[in-house]
Amino acid sequence: MPPGAALPELPTHLPARDRRNELRHELHHAVHERVARHQHGWHGADLLLHRGALGHRLLPAGLAVRPHLAGEGRRGRARRAEPLPPCRILLGADQGRLYCLLPPVHPAHLGMAAEQHGGGDAAVSIGKIWPVLRSDECLRLRRSDRRQPAHRVHHRPLSQRLPHGPALDRHLCRGRDDPDDPRDPGLAGPWRTRQLRAAPAIDPLTPSTTTLMSTPYSAYSFSPSGDRLELRDPFLLRSADSDLWNDRLYLQIDHRGQVLTSGWLSPDFTPYSQPLRTFYLRDNETGEIWSVPQGPIRSKPDEFLFSAGKSDILWTVTIAGIRCIIRVVVPVHDPVELWTVEVQNISARPRSISVFSYLPIGKPSWLRNNTRYEPEWHGVVFDFFPYYVDYRDYEKLSHGSNTIFAASDRSPDGWMSCIADFVGHGTPGQPDALTQETLPPADRWADAESEAAAILQFNKALAPTETDRIQFVFGPAANPESARETARKYLVPGGIDAALAEAAARYADYPPALEISTPDAEFDAFINHWLPRRSLMLARAMRFMSAPQGRNLLQDSMAGGLIDPVSSRKWFLKFYAFQKQDGWLPHGMPLEPGATQLRINTVPHKDINSWGPEALTYYLHETGDHSILDEQVSFSDAPDKTDTLYHHVCRGLDWLLTDRTARGLCRIGQGDWNDPLNMAGHDEKGESIWLSEALAFALDTWAPVCASRGDASLAASYRGEAEALRASINQLAWDGEWYARGFTDAGRPFGSSRDEEGRIFLNAQSWAIISGTATPDRARQCIDSVEKHLATPSGPMMLAPAYTRMRTDIGKLSQKCPGRLENGSVYSHAVTFYAYALYLARRPADAFRTLRMLLSGADTNPVTRSGQLPLYIPNSYFGLPAGAKAGQSTRSANTGTAAWYYRAAVDCLFGLRSEADGLRIDPQLPPGWQKVRVLRRWRGSTFDVTIERQAGVSSMRTVMDGTELSDHLVPPQVSGSRHTVTVTLPLA
What residues act catalytically?
A: 675
Compute the chain's Rg from CA coordinates. Answer: 30
Is residue 711 helix, strand or coil?
coil
Establish whether the linkage from the previous residue to 296 is cis, with ω within 30° of 0. yes
Backbone angles phi, psi at 178, to 5 degrees: -90, 115
- Of 608, 746, 588, 756, nearest to 679 by C-alpha is 746
CA distances (Å), 463 to each of 279, 352, 460, 469, in order? Answer: 21, 9, 10, 14
Q: Cα(560)–Cα(572) distance, rounded to whole angstroms? A: 11
Is residue 414 helix, strand or coil?
strand
Burial status of residue 638 (CB atoms within 10 A of its CB: 0-12, 13-18, 19 or more): exposed
- Of 573, 527, 581, 575, nearest to 552 by C-alpha is 575
Q: What angle do CA 856, 307, 261 make, to 5 degrees?
A: 70
Q: Cα(763)–Cα(742) distance, rounded to whole angstroms? A: 11
CA distances (Å), 293 to each of 229, 258, 341, 416, 488, in order? Answer: 17, 9, 11, 21, 26
Q: What is the DSSP letter of 123?
A: S
- Of 310, 318, 309, 339, nearest to 327 by C-alpha is 339
Q: Strand 249-254 relative to strand 259-265: parallel, antiparallel, unpaired?
A: antiparallel
The answer to whether the CB of 335 falls within 8 A of the CB of 476 is: yes
Q: Which residues, at least 6 apart from 21, have a Cβ–Cβ distance to it below 8 Å?
A: none
- Of 761, 144, 749, 223, nearest to 530 by C-alpha is 223
Buried b (16+ CB within 10 A) or exposed e, 928-964: bbbbbebbbbbbebebebbbbbeeeeeeebbebeeee
Q: Cα(785)–Cα(405) distance, rounded to whole angstroms? A: 56
Backbone angles phi, psi at 506, to 5 degrees: -55, -40
Q: Cα(496)–Cα(79) distance, rounded to whole angstroms? A: 64
For the chain, the helix, strand and coil percentages under 3-state DSSP, each to the nearest 5: 30, 25, 45
- Of 681, 695, 686, nearest to 724 by C-alpha is 695
